[in-house]
Amino acid sequence: MISYKKASSVSELQQIINLQRDNVPEGISSEEKETEGFVTVVHTLELLTAMNTVCQHSIAIENDTVVGYALCMHPSFGDEIDVLKPMFSEIQKTIDPTTSWMVMGQICIDKNFRKKGIFRRLYEHMSTSIRPEFTTIITEVDATNTRSLAAHYAIGFKLMSTYTADRKEWVLIRLN
């Protein structure tokens, strides 16, 4: 039985980091990268903890094991991860300044639990838990990560813009 909650322990945060390490492009085959998707960043425990203190991450749990997560990244962390700095700059250029927004910093589902609706339910949990302070979730996806883009569009994300940073094309999307 899978349940959804906010991350609340060091053990849960460490399990998130373990899932990240299992899903970076360097650790998976080209075929898996294309069919299953990938994550771009492995966070430090210190940064993940700081982010969780400001806005708790949404996690999917089965038998005390994190099987999926959606990281909540408050805009105040926009300068903390180099690869994400261009995203925050692009958001500022494209968003209506009256919009209250939060960044979903990364989402990942354990390989053994994919295609079970966890992706959608993590976003539902996050959407509920950030309200009423924030009404919009924004994220970016590497344009080559077609699996992730398709999943995001399937649950209602809309295109904000595309841009290039560090010789990669990024797709900036939002969920209201």
Average of per-residue pLDDT across 5-20: 97
Q: What local confidence, expressed as pLDDT, does residue 171 receive?
A: 97
Which are the contacts of 144, defined by CB distance < 8 A and separation ≥ 6? 168, 169
- The tens digit of pLDDT for each residue in 130-145 reads 988 999 999 999 998 8
**Segments making up each domain of the chain, as ranges:** 3-175
Mean pLDDT score of the chain, rounded to an integer? 93
pTM, full prediction = 0.91
Q: How confident is the model at residue 10 (pLDDT cuts 50, 70, 90)?
A: very high
Residue 23 has pLDDT above 90, yes or no: no
The CATH number fitting domain 3-175, selected from 1.20.1740.10, 1.20.1250.20, 3.40.630.30, 3.40.50.970: 3.40.630.30
Q: Which residue has the higher pLDDT, 34 or 95?
A: 95
- Could you report the per-residue pLDDT of 32-89, keeping only the tens digit for each? 887 787 888 889 999 999 999 999 999 999 999 999 999 999 999 998 888 889 999 9
Expressed in percent and rounded to 5, the helix, strand and coil fractions of the chain are: 40, 30, 30
CA atoms within 13 A on the CB side of 8: 6
